[in-house]
Structure formats: structure tokens, C-alpha cells
Amino acid sequence: MAERIITPVARVIHANTFFSRLKGLLGTRQLPADTGLLLEPCSSIHTWGMGYAIDALFLDDHNRVLQVADTLPPNTWGQKMPGACRVLEMAAGKARRLGIQPGDVIDLIIRKEGI
């Protein structure tokens, strides 16, 4: 079976500094359906202080999906994912709608500006 390459969002905000990872999605009202937040380096996340649910894709160094966390509610801790180098956060339910599963490869188009 051929490996599936998926582009789940058209716009990726890259959070690759201490402060951009610390802020994450805090202070946002929602994550637009076409936008994701790529936290790097990252192997665990939380949704404390957020007002909405998100999906999270835990990715290895080749952007292969290790785990899909579907519709994480606000104010929860996610588990640490061994082998994850980065996490893509996106609108809740998007991973399920696209059928994203462990083993899929995520194609990312990274932009530098904030949310």
C-alpha cells in the first residue's frame, strides 16, 4: 500500500521559539479551518486556558503521523508522545473528516506570521 500524503491545512503558523510555543493558541477565539499551528520542538501539549477544542497530530522528524488526538477539549493535558518532534494543532474534527491516521505523512506549507 502506498503511503498517504495529506495537506490538512493551507496555512501553517510555525511556533518554533520558546515564547511562540508558550503562547500557542492562547488568546485566540478559534482556529480557522484552513490554518494550523505547528509547535516545534514539541512532544506533548495542553489546552489549559483555551476556549475551544482542537485536533492535534503528533509528527516524527519526517512529518509522519505518530498519533492523532481528536477533539481535545479545553483545559486538559495531552499525553507525551515518544518519538514526536512536532505537533500540528488544527480545528477540532478536521483529522476525522480527512481520515488522518497514524502512518500518514503530512505536507506542510509553513508561514512565519502569527495567528
Q: What is the pLDDT of residues 45-91, one digit of tens each?
A: 999 999 999 999 999 999 999 999 999 999 998 889 999 999 999 99
Which three cell numbers, joined as nine digits, stand for 2?
A: 502506498
* Nearest partner of 32 among 50, 12, 49, 4, judged by Cα: 12
**What's the pLDDT band for 109 if we cut at 50, 70, 90?**
confident
The yes-or-no verdict on residue 13 having pLDDT over 70 is yes
The neighbouring-strand residues paired with 90 are 55
Residue 11 in contact with residue 111, Cβ under 8 Å? yes
Q: Is the dihedral of CA 53, 19, 9, 30 positive or negative?
A: positive
Distance between CA 58 and CA 63 in Å, rounded? Answer: 9
Average pLDDT along the chain:
92
What domains sit in the chain, N to C, each tagged with a CATH number? 5-111 (2.60.120.1140)
* Nearest partner of 60 among 72, 79, 46, 42, judged by Cα: 42
